[in-house]
């Protein structure tokens, strides 16, 4: 029998601050991408709110959030960023966008685990920002957009749940 969509609980506290933060971030990432399951390409692109927000656009944006904050700002890497990540192009498919998000997420996790110190400052940072701050910010951004994804999915087909 398939798992009920609300059966997933937030992760238990795991060993260490970085691992705990990554567990919660991973839980939220899955909550966002689960909103695309069972939708057609057209439904995933559909914007049902005046801002033009679509589920696919939310996932693209969250990909850019992780790349910008973890790869560019924290690690100091030179990375190409989409100037309008919310916009879905003809080349964007659910599979391609989710794959890009999964790759960015894996890179975030790898960088955070390798850094090992939550107090490590950003390579391109100001005002004393640290890995801890960045992980909390990325988690906050993901949680906020997970809520948006809940609403957009419900508007598309009435589906609710995590």
Q: 147 versus 9: which is more confidently predicted?
A: 147
Decide if 12 is inside a domain. no
Decide if 131 is inside a domain. yes
pLDDT at 2 over 80: no
Cβ 45 vs Cβ 97: under 8 Å: no
Read off the pLDDT of each residue in 92-119 and give the average, rounded to a whole number: 96
pLDDT at 3 over 60: no
Number of H helices, E strands in the chain: 5, 0
Decide if 8 is inside a domain. no
pLDDT at 109 over 70: yes
pLDDT at 134 over 50: yes
pLDDT at 25 over 60: yes
pLDDT at 70 over 50: yes
Q: In whole numbers, what is the pLDDT of the chain averaged over residues?
A: 91
Decide if 54 is inside a domain. yes
pLDDT at 78 over 70: yes
Residue 161's pLDDT is 80
27: domain range?
17-157
Query: Count of domains in the chain?
Result: 1
CATH of residue 95's domain is 1.20.120.450
Other Cβ atoms less than 10 A from the Cβ of 133: the count is 18
Decide if 48 is inside a domain. yes
pLDDT at 133 over 60: yes
- Residue pointed to by tokens 């989409």: 82
Q: CA-to-CA distance for 60 and 64, rounded, in angstroms?
A: 7
């Amino acid at each position: 029998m398939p798992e009920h969509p609300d059966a997933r609980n937030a992760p238990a506290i795991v060993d260490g601050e970085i691992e705990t933060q990554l567990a919660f971030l991973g839980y939220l990432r899955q909550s966002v991408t689960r909103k695309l399951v069972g939708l057609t390409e057209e439904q995933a692109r559909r914007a049902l709110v005046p801002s033009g927000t679509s589920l696919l656009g939310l996932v693209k944006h969250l990909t850019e959030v992780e790349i910008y904050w973890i790869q560019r700002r924290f690690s100091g890497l030179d990375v190409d960023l989409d100037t309008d990540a919310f916009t879905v192009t003809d080349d964007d498919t659910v599979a391609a966008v989710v794959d890009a998000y999964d790759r960015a997420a894996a890179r975030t996790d790898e960088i955070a685990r390798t850094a090992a110190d939550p107090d490590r400052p950003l390579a391109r940072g100001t005002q004393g920002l640290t890995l801890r701050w960045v992980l909390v910010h990325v988690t906050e951004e993901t949680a906020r957009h997970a809520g948006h994804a809940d609403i957009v999915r419900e508007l598309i087909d009435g589906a609710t749940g995590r």
